[in-house]
Amino acid sequence: MASGIKVDESCCHMWELFHKGSLTDATTPAEKEERETHLQNVLGVHAKEPEQGDGSDTDSSADEEDNEVQKKTKAKRPRIMTMRVSDNLKTIVLEKNKFNVAMKHDDKIKDTDRCLAKLKKRLTQGSTNSVKRPRWIIVYFDFLTDVDSRPTGKEIMIKWCPDSSSIKQKMYLSSSTAGLCSTLKDFKGTTVQCDCIDDLDDILKSLRKGTLK
C-alpha cells in the first residue's frame, strides 16, 4: 500500500462482524469479549463521542434511539462500516461515531434506506475537514430486483472521494484500496467510486436493475 501504510486491526475486527455477523477469529472468550465491547462502543456512541482531533464532526442530529438499541444488543451487526487514512498518513483506521451504523429493523429493505439516509446526511454535514475527507465505506445493501421483486443482498465497498478532497488525499485513497481489500479476510465485494451523493443513489438503482454485479 501507499508509503507502507498499514491497516489497523480494529478495521479487520469490524469487517469480521460486518461480514460474518460474529467475531469467530478471536482466540479466547476474553479476547472476543474485548473486541465486542470495543466495536459495540463504536457502533453505539453516535450522539456522544466526538471524533478525536475534530470535535466539530459530531452529529447533533444523530438518533439517541440508535444508541439505546445498539447498547442493548451485544456486537450488533453493522450495515455500514467506514474507514479512513489516519492524520499522520501511516494507517488505515476505523472511522468513529456517525459513520458506522448498525442494522436495526427486521425489514431489511427499509433498514437499508434508513442507514443510507443517515450516511448521506453525515457525509454532507459537519466540519469542512470531515466533508472533504475521502473514506472507504462498506455497505450491505438489501434490495428488491426490478425484474421480479426478488429480495437480494450485496456487499459494496464505496471509495468516497469528494471533488473537494486534496490531491494527496485522493492519491492515498486510490493507491491503498487494493491493499485494504486484500487485508480484509474473504472480501469479494464490488468496489465503486463515488464523488457525490447522486453517485450513492445510483448504486442502489443499478443493483435493482441488475447492472451492478
Mean pLDDT by 10 residues, the chain (213 residues): 78 91 72 74 51 44 47 69 94 90 91 95 92 97 96 96 94 94 94 96 95 88
Q: Are 101 and 78 in contact (CB under 8 A)?
A: yes
The residue behind cell 501504510 is 5
SS3 track for 53-119:
CCHHHCCCCCCHHHHHHHHHCCCCCEEEEEEEECCCCCEEEECCHHHCEECCCCCHHHHHHHHHHHH
Those residues whose C-beta lies under 8 Å from the C-beta of residue 154, and which sit 6 or more positions away, are 140, 141, 143, 189, 190, 207
Nearest to 18 by CA among 32, 49, 37, 39: 39
Those residues whose C-beta lies under 8 Å from the C-beta of residue 39, and which sit 6 or more positions away, are 10, 13, 14, 17, 23, 75
Could you tell me how many residues make up the chain? 213
| pLDDT of amino acid 68 | 46
Sort 81 into a burial class: Cβ within 10 Å, 0-12 / 13-18 / 19+. Answer: buried
| pLDDT of amino acid 28 | 79
Exposure b/e, 101-124, CB count within 10 A at least 16 = b: bbbbeeebeebbebbbebbeebbe
Tens digits of residue pLDDT in 87-134 = 999 999 999 778 999 998 889 999 999 999 999 999 999 899 999 999
| pLDDT of amino acid 20 | 85
Pick the CATH number of 2-209 from 3.100.10.10, 3.30.420.10, 3.40.20.10, 3.40.605.10: 3.40.20.10
| pLDDT of amino acid 30 | 80
- What the block records as the C-alpha cell of 23 is 467475531
| pLDDT of amino acid 76 | 79
